[in-house]
Every structure is written in structure tokens, then in C-alpha cells.
């Protein structure tokens, strides 16, 4: 069994998580692909819901065993990836899978499933707006903010590698456009 994959990617702060959460509430056939990470769990997070939290040693063992569809060391010592077992689990539930993932992971998934995936790049109206959003979150140290800005600057150059670019300037418009795009894709006949 296999369904369709809807891959949302963007630099941090562009709004992809907000869009993905909205789509999960609106489209019953979608299920969220929970990524694995080696970073620490935050107070509001739950293992198996927000991420599968693995320590770095466990993560490396799964890499070596070939358990990941894709993975990346996003920040020094911080791994993120998509477990093959997560895809199988959701397809066994007859779900189409939606991803909220970094650009390199998105490209890897698109490459693995070129015929049944749609990759959407969420972009801010400008880099300056993105950097303001990151700054206004108030969750970053000066060092982590600098790392995110540097990474976001690089990730913005990947836009043309994806099927669709969705501008998130006015959130309500972005949510409406995302619904239209995803519903149209899911309703296409193979």
C-alpha cells in the first residue's frame, strides 16, 4: 500500500508548521509524519507526537542500520530524520502523508518518491520579514539566532528545486492557498 506524500519545507520562521497544522485539521485523509531527532525534548513536546526523541548514539545506530528514508545533521550534533517505519505505519492506515521538514530532507524524499509526492516550498515575502519573524519569536539566543539566519539564507536559495512556492505574507491567504493546492493534488487521479 502506498499513498501520496505532501512535503512542506521552508526556512525556520516561514510558517510551514502553522500551515501543516492547519491542513491536518482540514483534510481528513492526511496524517503527519513524525520525524526523529537527537535534540532534547522541550517542555511542551511529547515523544512520538512531536518527534521520536533518540539520543545521538541511538540515532547513529539507526543510520547505520539503514532505518532512515532521509536524515541530516542539521546543527552540530543535532540529527533529524524520517524513519522508514513511520512511512509504512501511516500507509498501513491508508493515509496520505504530510511532512514538515527541512529543505534537504524534502529533496531526498521527493527523489525517493518522485511519482507520488508534491513538494511545496513556503517562503516569506522577503528575507527581512523572515529574519524579523525569527527575532520576534524571542526563543533564540544571539548565537542560535545567527545560526538560524545563516541557515535560512542558504535555504531560501533552494526555492526553484520544489514543485510549488507558496508565499506566506498574509497567513489567512497562505492557509487558503495551501488547502487549494493540497486538495487539488490529493484529488488527482494517478
Please compute the mean of the pLDDT values over residues 52-80 and round it to a whole number.
Answer: 93
Cα 168-173-178 angle, rounded to 5 deg: 75
12 pLDDT higher than 90: no
Here the cell at position 77 is: 550534533
More confident residue, 125 or 179: 179
What tens digit of pLDDT does each residue of 88-146 get? 999 999 999 999 998 999 999 999 999 999 999 999 998 888 888 878 877 778 888 88
What tens digit of pLDDT does each residue of 25-50 get? 999 999 999 999 999 998 889 999 98
| Alpha-carbon distances, residue 130 vs 37, 150, 170 (angstroms) | 24, 12, 13
- Give me the domain span that covers residue 54: 5-187
Kindly tell me the burial class for residue 28, based on how many C-beta atoms sit within 10 Å of its own C-beta (0-12, 13-18, 19 or more). exposed
For residues 84 and 98, what is the distance between their CA atoms, to the nearest angstrom? 14
- For residue 12, the Cα-to-chain-centroid distance in whole angstroms is 10
Per-residue pLDDT, 190:
58
Q: Would you list the DSSP string of 119-164?
A: EEEEE-SSHHHHHHHHHHH----HHHHHHHHHHHHHHGGGGGGSSE
User: What CATH number does the domain containing 30 carry?
Assistant: 3.40.50.300
Please compute the mean of the pLDDT values over residues 17-27 and round it to a whole number.
Answer: 97
For residues 166 and 110, what is the distance between their CA atoms, to the nearest angstrom? 17
Q: Cα dihedral sign for 150, 153, 156, 157?
A: negative
Q: Strand order in 52-53's β-sheet?
A: 52-53, 36-37, 78-83, 68-75
What tens digit of pLDDT does each residue of 67-94 get? 999 999 877 888 999 999 999 999 999 9
Per-residue pLDDT, 146:
85
HSE value, Cβ hemisphere, 13 Å, CA-based, for 1: 11
Q: Strand order in 5-9's β-sheet?
A: 30-32, 96-101, 5-9, 117-123, 164-167
What total number of domains does the chain contain? Answer: 1
Rounded to two decimals, what is the model's pTM? 0.88
- The overall average pLDDT reported for the chain is 92
Amino acid at each position: 500500500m502506498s499513498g501520496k506524500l505532501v512535503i512542506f519545507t521552508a526556512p525556520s520562521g516561514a510558517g510551514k508548521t502553522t500551515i501543516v497544522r492547519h491542513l491536518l485539521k482540514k483534510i481528513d485523509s492526511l496524517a503527519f509524519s513524525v520525524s526523529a531527532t537527537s535534540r532534547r525534548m522541550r517542555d511542551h513536546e511529547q515523544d512520538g507526537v512531536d518527534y521520536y526523541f533518540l539520543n545521538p548514539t541511538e540515532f547513529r545506530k539507526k543510520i547505520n542500520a539503514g532505518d532512515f528514508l532521509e536524515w541530516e545533521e542539521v546543527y552540530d550534533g543535532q540529527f533529524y530524520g524520517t524513519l522508514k517505519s513511520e512511512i509504512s505505519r501511516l500507509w498501513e492506515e491508508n493515509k496520505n502523508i504530510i511532512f514538515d521538514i527541512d529543505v534537504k530532507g524534502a529533496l531526498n524524499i521527493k527523489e525517493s518518491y518522485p511519482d507520488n509526492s508534491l513538494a511545496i516550498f513556503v517562503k516569506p515575502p522577503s528575507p527581512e520579514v523572515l529574519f524579523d519573524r525569527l527575532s520576534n519569536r524571542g526563543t533564540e539566543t544571539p548565537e542560535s539566532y545567527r545560526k538560524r539566519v545563516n541557515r535560512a539564507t542558504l535555504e531560501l536559495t533552494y526555492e526553484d528545486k520544489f514543485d510549488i512556492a507558496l508565499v506566506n505574507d498574509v497567513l489567512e491567504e497562505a492557509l487558503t492557498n495551501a488547502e487549494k493546492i493540497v486538495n487539488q493534488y490529493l484529488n488527482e487521479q494517478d
